[in-house]
Amino acid sequence: MANSIKNHLAGKLEDALTEDLKKKASSNYEGLSDEELFTFAEYNSEEAERTGYSNYSYWKATLQVFLKNKVAVFLLIVMGAIVLFTFIQPYLPNQLDPNLINNNPMTFMQYRNVQPGELPQFILGTNSIGQDLWARIWAGTRTSLFIGLAVAIVEAVLGITMGVLWGYVRKLDFFFTEVYNILDNIPQTLVLILISYMVTPSIQSMIFAMCLTSWIQMARFIRNQIIIIRDRDYNLASRCLGTSTFKIIMKNLLPYLVSIIMLRMALSIPAAIGNEVFITYIGLGLPSDTVSLGRLINDGRELMMSPDLRYQLIFPTIVLSIVTISFYIIGNAFSDAADPKNHK
Amino acid sequence: MLQYLAKRFGRSIISLFIIISVVFILLRQMPIEGYFPNYEKMTDLQIQNGLEALGLNDPIPVQLGRFWVDLLHGDLGESITYRQKVPVTEIIAEKIPYSVKLGSMAIVVSLLAGIPMGAMMARYKGKWFDKFGTLFIVFIQAVPAAVYYLFIQLYGTIILDIPLMFDPSNPKSWILPVISMSLGNIAYYGMWLRRYMVDETNKDYVKLATAKGLSGNKVFFKHVFRNAFVPLIQYLPTSFLNTVIGSIYIESLYSVPGMGGLLVQVIKKSDNTMVQGIVLLYATVGVIGLLLGDILMTVIDPRISLSKKEEGR
Candidates A75, A169, A181, A279, partner chain B, best to mutate (most B CBs within 10 A): A181
CA distances from B177 to A285, B107, B255 (A): 26, 12, 10
pLDDT number for residue A157: 92
Which parts of chain B have pLDDT scores under 70? Answer: 305-313
How many C-alpha atoms does B309 have within 13 Å on its Cβ side?
Answer: 2
The answer to whether B152 faces chain A, any CB pair under 8 Å, is: no
Phi, psi of B218 (to 5 degrees): -65, -45
CB atoms within 10 A of CB B5: 14
Which of B154, B261, B283 has the CB atom closest to A185's CB atom? B283
Residue to test with chain B: of A6, A170, A190, A249, most B Cβ within 10 A: A190
Q: Which residues of B touch A184 (CB under 8 A)?
A: 286
* pTM to 2 decimal places: 0.78
Say if the Cβ atoms of B143 and A178 lie within 8 Å.
no
Chain A residues in contact with B311 by the CB 8 A cut-off are 231
Q: Is B282 on the interface with A (CB under 8 A)?
A: yes
Cα–Cα distance, B196 to B291 (Å, whole number): 22
For residue A199, the tally of other CB atoms under 10 A from its CB is: 10
What structural domains does chain B harbor? Answer: 2-72 (no CATH), 90-300 (1.10.3720.10)
Rounded to whole angstroms, how far apart are CA atoms A249 and A245? 6
pLDDT at B111: 93
CA B60 to chain centre: 31
If we measure between CA atoms, which residue out of A154, A224, A213, A162 comes closest to residue A185?
A213
Cβ atoms A187, A130 nearer than 8 A:
no
- As a whole number of angstroms, the longest Cα–Cα distance in chain A is 109
**Residue B199 · residue B224 · CB < 8 Å:** no
Q: Quick check: A178 contacting B, CB < 8 Å? A: yes
Of the candidates A181, A278, A317, which has its C-beta nearest B19's C-beta? A181
Record: contact B143-A317, CB cut-off 8 A:
yes
Which residues of chain B lie closer than 8 angstroms to A194, CB-CB? 26, 29-30
Whether the CB-CB separation of A291 and A40 falls below 8 Å is answered with: no
Q: Which residue of A has its CA nearest to B267?
A: A190
- Is the distance from CB of B98 to CB of B85 less than 8 angstroms? no
**How many beta carbons lie within 10 A of that of residue B15, not counting itself?**
21
Contact yes or no for A182/B18 (Cβ under 8 A): yes
Structure confidence at residue A76 (pLDDT): 92
Residue A297 and residue B147: Cβ atoms within 8 Å? Answer: yes
* Best CA proximity match to A271, nearest among A149, A183, A189: A149
Helix, coil or strand: residue B295: helix
According to the model, what pLDDT value does residue B106 have? 93
- The CATH superfamily of A59-342 is MetI-like (1.10.3720.10)
Which of A202, A226, A213, A206 is closest to A180 using CA atoms? A213
Are A189 and B267 a contacting pair at CB < 8 A? yes
Question: Is residue B156 classed as helix, strand or coil in its secondary structure?
Answer: helix
Chosen from B264, B280, B282, B306 to mutate, greatest number of chain A CBs within 10 A: B264
Residues of B (157-196) whose Cβ lies below 8 Å from A: none
Convert B119-157 to b/e letters by CB count within 10 Å (16 or more is b): bbbbbeeeeeebeebeebbbebbbbbbbbbbbebbeebb
Residues in chain A, pLDDT under 50: 1-2
Please, which residues have CB within 8 angstroms of residue A118's CB and are 6 or more apart in sequence? A125
Question: Which residues of chain B lie closer than 8 angstroms to A2, CB-CB?
Answer: none
Distance CA B305, CA B155 (A): 49
Distance separating alpha carbons of residues B143 and A278, to the nearest angstrom = 13
Q: Chain A contacts of B29, Cβ < 8 Å?
A: 194, 197
The SS3 assignment for B226 reads helix
User: Which chain B residues are within 8 Å of A305, Cβ to Cβ?
Assistant: 154
Measured between alpha carbons, how far is B171 from B23 in angstroms, rounded to an integer? 38
Residue type, B248: I
* Bridge partners, A126 (sequence order): A132
Nearest to A125 by CA among A323, A313, A319, A320: A313
SS3 B15: helix
Residue-level pLDDT at B10: 87
- HEC string of chain A equals CHHHHHHHHHHHHHHHHHHHHHHHHHHHHCCCCHHHHCCCCCCCHHHHHCCCCCCCCHHHHHHHHHHHCHHHHHHHHHHHHHHHHHHHHHHCCCCCCCCCCCECCCCCCECCCCCCCCCCCCCCCECCCCCEHHHHHHHHHHHHHHHHHHHHHHHHHHHHHHHHHHHHCHHHHHHHHHHHHHHHHCCHHHHHHHHHHHCCCCHHHHHHHHHHHHHHHHHHHHHHHHHHHHCCHHHHHHHHCCCCHHHHHHHHHHHHHHHHHHHHHHHHHHHHHHHHHHHHHCCCCCCCCCCCHHHHHHHHHHCCCCHHHCHHHHHHHHHHHHHHHHHHHHHHHHHHHCCHHHCC
With beta carbons less than 8 A apart as the criterion, state whether B114 and B184 touch. Answer: no
B29 touches chain A (CB under 8 A): yes
Q: What is the pLDDT of residue A344?
A: 67
B310 Ramachandran zone, left/alpha/beta (phi>0; psi -120 to 50): beta
Interface check for B18 against chain A (CB to CB < 8 A): the answer is yes
User: CA B268, CA B82: separation in Å to the nearest integer?
Assistant: 10
Tally of CB atoms within 10 A around A15 = 10
Contacts of B97 (CB under 8 A, 6+ apart): none
Does the beta-carbon distance from B283 to A190 stay under 8 Å? no
Query: Which of B265, B128, B145 lies closest to A187, judged by CA?
Result: B265
Nearest residue, CB atoms, A277 vs list B31, B144, B263: B144
**Closest residue on chain A to B14 (Cα):** A178
